[in-house]
Amino acid sequence: MVLLGLTACSNRTDNKQILSADNDTTHTVQTVQYSAKELTSLLDSIGSLNPNNWTEKLTFIVDSTLNNQIKLNNKLSLTDFQKLKLTVKSSEIDLELAKKIFPQLEIDSSLAANLKNNKLPVSFYSFDSNQKDFNEFAISIGDDGGLSWSNDIYFFKSDKVIAKHKIFHRYGLELKNFKNEINETVIYYKVNYESGTGIWWHQFNFYRYDNDELIPTLTEIENINLQYPWSIRTYWIESTILETKPLKLKFVFNNQFLDTLGNQIDFINDSTEVKYKFDTNKKIYEPEFTDTKLNRLKLLTYFHADNELLFVNINYELFKKELNNNDTVKRLAILNYLNELKNGLNTQ
């Protein structure tokens, strides 16, 4: 994407290790200290861009994970279905039976390490009011309490295997369910996209039972954190499910910039509630952002991705307001952020 007015000029320079905007590679470059006028020009240039230009790129990874789980249509024999029910009580299954019941079962080194007496540990998740009904349920393969970072989960509609999901959770599988507005079963779990010191990203993925299919319905932020020095902007966002009919999430979020002394200065520190209406025609959840402090584009600025330009663009009015107020500390922190951004753009 081409920006207007990003050419370097003869300002004060020094050598410094910086983290390039939208890039986690640290390297030594010659850093230019731009004037407030030049940084304001940069801000205006970014603010004039179309924010929708970034949407497809930023949502690609989460949409792919949500939508590309394996759909199945494997009906079990009466004998195998009865054997499967018995595995729930023992929490383990004979390997040969597992290969027969679970399509595309992959025995990697992690799963092989779970084998004891040629049996695999399994966990049972019932979505029925009575777990003995075995109508809508799931079975995870291998240890899912945190010893394994990921699990294959098979979803069932009675005696039919209807889906296989490969879930990377890192700290233990959390699989939950509720009923939507038309009394369909909705299941959801957390996906871990990144973990580390001062950096992590977890999404909620929602699916719904539609007869003999499990249909993707929504992916939404659960918790994202990014701290300096991984970025020129530090931020945090976390959601909590308040209600399920209708689905309502509360978001708590903040963004901070560093001043020239390394102090973290609040730029955004807020919370809001968002309702998700179940569209009975599209059969998906649609967020209702009216009268909230977030929207789809603002949420994308919390992804660990190439999104600093979108962050500036979508918060352009706030940047202008804060630069024109009497808070000198915040104003200098904003200019320092824009200076880091401009230097990072000039190294790309």
In a domain, 7, yes or no: no
pLDDT at 27 over 80: no
Q: In a 3-state reduction of DSSP, which class is residue 84?
A: helix
pLDDT at 17 over 60: no
- What gap in Å lies between CA 41 and CA 48, rounded to an integer? 11
What's the pLDDT at 117? 87
Cis amide linkage into residue 51, ω under 30° from 0: no
In a domain, 118, yes or no: yes
In a domain, 3, yes or no: no
What's the pLDDT at 8? 31
Q: Is 214 in the same domain as 269?
A: yes
Q: Is 40 in the same domain as 142?
A: no
Q: Is 93 in the same domain as 54?
A: no
- What gap in Å lies between CA 52 and CA 54, rounded to an integer? 5
pTM: 0.89
Q: Is 219 in the same domain as 150?
A: no
- Could you report the per-residue pLDDT of 63-101, keeping only the tens digit for each? 999 999 999 999 999 999 999 999 988 999 999 999 999
Q: Is 59 in the same domain as 205?
A: yes
- What gap in Å lies between CA 134 and CA 64, rounded to an integer? 30
How confident is residue 259, by pLDDT bands cut at 50, 70 and 90? Answer: confident
In a domain, 342, yes or no: yes
Pairing, β 150-157 against β 70-75: unpaired
Quote the domain boundaries for residue 127.
Answer: 77-158
Q: Is 17 in the same domain as 51?
A: yes
Q: Is 274 in the same domain as 241?
A: yes
In a domain, 169, yes or no: no
- Could you report the per-residue pLDDT of 221-244, keeping only the tens digit for each? 999 999 999 999 999 999 999 999
Pick from 1-10, 167-176, 251-260, 285-294: least confident? 1-10
How confident is residue 112, by pLDDT bands cut at 50, 70 and 90? Answer: confident
- Calculate the average pLDDT of the chain: 90
What whole-number percentage of the chain has pLDDT above 70? Answer: 91
Long-range contacts of 86-95 (CB under 8 A, 24+ apart): 87/122, 87/124, 87/139, 88/122, 88/124, 88/139, 91/121, 91/122, 91/123, 91/124, 92/116, 92/119, 92/120, 92/121, 92/122, 93/119, 93/120, 93/122, 94/118, 94/119, 95/119, 95/120
pLDDT at 141 over 60: yes
- Arithmetic mean of pLDDT, 328-345: 96
What's the pLDDT at 21? 45
Final residue before a domain boundary, out of 158, 189, 206: 158
Q: Is 183 in the same domain as 254?
A: yes
Task: Please give the DSSP secondary-structure letter assigned to residue 116.
Answer: B
Q: Is 30 in the same domain as 52?
A: yes
- Arithmetic mean of pLDDT, 1-29: 44
- Arithmetic mean of pLDDT, 142-161: 88
What's the pLDDT at 113? 79
Final residue before a domain boundary, out of 98, 131, 158: 158
What whole-number percentage of the chain has pLDDT above 90? Answer: 80
pLDDT at 15 over 60: no
pLDDT at 145 over 80: no
30/51: higher pLDDT: 51
Q: Is 40 in the same domain as 100?
A: no
User: 193 and 224 in contact (C-beta within 8 Å)?
Assistant: no
Q: Is 89 in the same domain as 135?
A: yes
User: 152 and 131 in contact (C-beta within 8 Å)?
Assistant: no
What's the pLDDT at 9? 35
Final residue before a domain boundary, out of 127, 158, 189: 158
Could you tell me the two tokens for 147?
Answer: 């010893």
In a domain, 165, yes or no: no
In a domain, 196, yes or no: yes
How confident is residue 159, by pLDDT bands cut at 50, 70 and 90? Answer: very high
CA distances from 76 to 5, 8, 92, 136, 161 (A): 65, 67, 18, 14, 8
What's the pLDDT at 5? 34
Report CA 5 to chain centroid distance, whole Å.
33
Q: Is 192 in the same domain as 47?
A: yes
- What gap in Å lies between CA 191 and CA 238, rounded to an integer? 14
If one counts the domains in the chain, the total is: 2
In a domain, 142, yes or no: yes
pLDDT at 302 over 80: yes
